[in-house]
Amino acid sequence: MTVTTAATSPPGRTAATKPSSRAQASRKPSRQWRIQERWAWLFVALPMALFAVFVVIPAGMALVMSFTSYSVIGDSSWVGLDNYRRLFLDPYFFIALRNTAYYTLLFVPLGIVVALTTALLLNRNVRVASLFRTFFYVPVVSSTVATATIWLWLLNPQFGMVNVALGLFGIDGPAWLYDSSWAMPAIVIMSVWAGFGTNMMIYLGGLQGIPPQLYEAARIDGAGWWQQLRYVVMPSLSRTTFLVSTLLVIGAFQVFDQAYVLTKGGPGNSTITLVYYIYTQGFGNLEMGYASAISFVLFAIITVFAVINARITGRDNT
């Protein structure tokens, strides 16, 4: 699926195709372009209509809410920038921000590495690899409630499998969810475990598209597996990596389930994430206006990081 010949084919070939298509484009009659445009609008019409009604309008409403003291029930009034002023003076907002940033910094690289490694391990066309792929996908399939229950048990400081296993290596495992330095890493591990299957499949799709000739060429040039990885695989996967990392970054900043089900923000407020804070303020304290304001600040932050991420993975997304 991700045929990345555009990125990896020898320069000469690309240069040969591009100008000719551009030349062709300029020779295209404008009527043909208008017909294409009409088709394009037809294709996007219904999805965009749905998008406008069920995504844009609610988001707009939420934005307006952020300038009011809306609390769903009772009276609400326009308060202008008060909510935004309030959040910049709110120590818990910054605690949540710090926690969320910490989570993202740990989760995204780890998620990419694990997904890519497992995809590389299982990129074979043999029966047994197919079986293992299914095994690796199992965590994704489990429901949140079951996963949380299982991990609570696994992370039990005395009986849990994790500390028992660490004990076999002579390591005295920490109290995980009761230790404010280890609770967030524990959640990161749990999230990576629960989510890597999906990204592994995306990477597998990407790996499938790398033509064997590239490996051949690299081998002939004397490249060992590490060089093949660096110079053949990684560049070919750059578009896939952009997709995976964007999704991971966007998802990481919005982490909620684990805080809600497993730790309720503790211990010592070390796992309050921004979305969890938004939830407790909005639905718990009925301060929807304030919750909206925090959401849009979060939105701005995510946008900044998504742009940074696009630069890092070097992919122009248009």
Partner 1 sequence: MSTPVSRRAILRALGLGAGAAVLSSCAAPNQPRYTDTGARRLTMWGSWAGDQAKQIQTQLDAFNAAQSAYTFRYVPQGVLEQKMLTGIASGNVPDLVLWDRWQTAKYGRRGALQAIDSWAARDGVDLGAFYAEAVREMSVGDVTYGLPLLVDTRALFYNKAHLDAAGIRPPTTWAELADAAEALTVREGGRLTRAGFELQDVGLFSMWLKQAGGELLDPAERATAFDSPQGLEVLDFWDELLHERKVYELGFSDGIDAFAQGAVSLKYDGPWNLPTWDAVDGLEYGVVPAVVGQRGDSGASMGGFGLVVPAHAPCPEGAWELMKWWAADQENSLAFADISKNIPANVEASRRAVGTVDDRFAPMVETIEVASVRPPVPGYSDVETLALIPALQEVMSGTADGPAALADAAAQGDRILEANR
Partner 2 sequence: MSAQTAPGLSVAAAPGSLGGARRPAPLHTTRRTPGQRVGAAAWWVAVVVVAILTVFPLFWTLVTSLKPAGDILSGALDLIPRTVTLENYQRVVTEVPFGRYFVNSMLLAVAGVLLNLFFGSLAGYAFAKLKFRGKRTLFVTLLGSLMVPGIVTMVPSFLVLRAIPLAGGNNLLGQGGVGLLNTWWAIILPGAAGAFAVFFMRQFFASIPDELGEAARIDGASEFRIFAQVYLPLAKAGAAVLAILTFQAGWNAFMWPLIVLNVQEMWTVQVGLASFVTDYATDYGPLMAGTVITSLPVLLLFVFAQRYIIEGVSHVNAR
Residue among 181 and 216 whose Cβ is closer to partner 2: 216
Owner of token pair 């919750």: 291
Site string for partner 1, 38-77 (x = CB under 8 A): xx--x----------------------------xxxx---
Owner of token pair 């009409």: 38
Least Cβ distance, residue 293 to partner 2 (angstroms)? 9
CA torsion sign for 52, 55, 58, 61 is: negative
267 residue type, one letter:
P
Span interacting with partner 1, options 104-112, 241-249, 266-274, 295-303, rule CB under 8 A: 266-274
Q: CA Rg, the chain, in Å? A: 24
195 phi and psi, to 5 degrees? -110, -10
Residue among 175 and 306 whose Cβ is closer to partner 1: 175
**What is the distance between the alpha carbons of residues 208 and 187, in angstroms, rounded to a whole number?**
32
**Which residues in 152-211 contact partner 2 (CB under 8 A)?**
153-154, 159, 161, 193, 197-198, 201-202, 204-205, 207-211
Which entry of partner 1, partner 2, none binds 291, CB below 5 to 8 A by partner kind? Answer: partner 2
Q: Among candidates 107, 60, 92, 143, which has minimal Cα distance to 279?
A: 92
Tokens (6 digits) for 119: 């995809």
Residue among 92 and 132 whose Cβ is closer to partner 1: 92
Residue among 160 and 289 whose Cβ is closer to partner 1: 160
Q: Among candidates 123, 132, 110, 105, which has minimal Cα distance to 236?
A: 123
Provide the binding-site residues for partner 1, judged by CB under 8 A: 35, 38-39, 42, 71-74, 91-92, 149-160, 175-181, 264-269, 280, 283-286
